[in-house]
Structure 1
């Protein structure tokens, strides 16, 4: 139960930090689905998912907890940088990619903190 509460608190903090960053940078929320990158984003996420599941399947055999943790770190890293690139390329008038790139290390640090606390 305390794990779920910790996740809810961390997600709330990340959401609040994102709101503060948006206000500080003056960035309005813009979605990639409103741009020509809509299909590229869908295809890219699907390809990343297929590759990630394939790597995860072939990596099974060792310590599953460690494998699962690093799976999420690498998968979220790839998706974040892919999304930031598409935001930079297709939403030029916005600084949406900066918000994505600034939130990412905090989210990964939270993931490492959770892994440290519960290992």
Structure 2
């Protein structure tokens, strides 16, 4: 149950940050509509996920990284890739700024996941 509350907290915080930053910077929501951009975005996400599944056992067996650091790297790569695609294919919007800010907030939560779990379990 602790995990559910933690994920709910993170989701609510991300929504609040999204709304606040959009109002503060005056950025309207924009979607990726270019077919070429959609294909590149989908292909990039698939490649990132496949690489994560391939690298996961190697990292765990060799204990090179802890699990939360692996997730931090994965989500940072995914968010940055999405921001680059948005920057290239959504010319009239600054949607990539929101994506990068959401990445920073999410990484901060992931770095503090142990503290948050202890906070909810007490």
> Structure 2: 5+ residue runs without aligned partners?
none
Q: Which residue of 1 aligns with 2:53?
A: 53
Compare 103-112 and 2-11 and name the one that shifted more.
2-11
Deviation (angstroms), 1:63:
4.9
Runs of 4+ more than 3 Å apart: 116-119
> Structure 1: 5+ residue runs without aligned partners?
none
TM-score by length of 1: 0.86
The alignment of Structure 1 onto Structure 2 pairs a total of residues equal to: 117
1:62-97 deviations in Å (ceiling 9; x for gaps): 459x53212211100100110000111111110000
Q: Which residue of 2 aligns with 1:43?
A: 43
State the distance in 2 between where 1:62 and 1:4 align: 30
TM-score by length of 2: 0.85
Q: Which residue of 2 aligns with 1:95?
A: 94
1:31-65 deviations in Å (ceiling 9; x for gaps): 22x1230000010111111111111122232459x
More RCO (CA 8 Å, sep 6+): 2
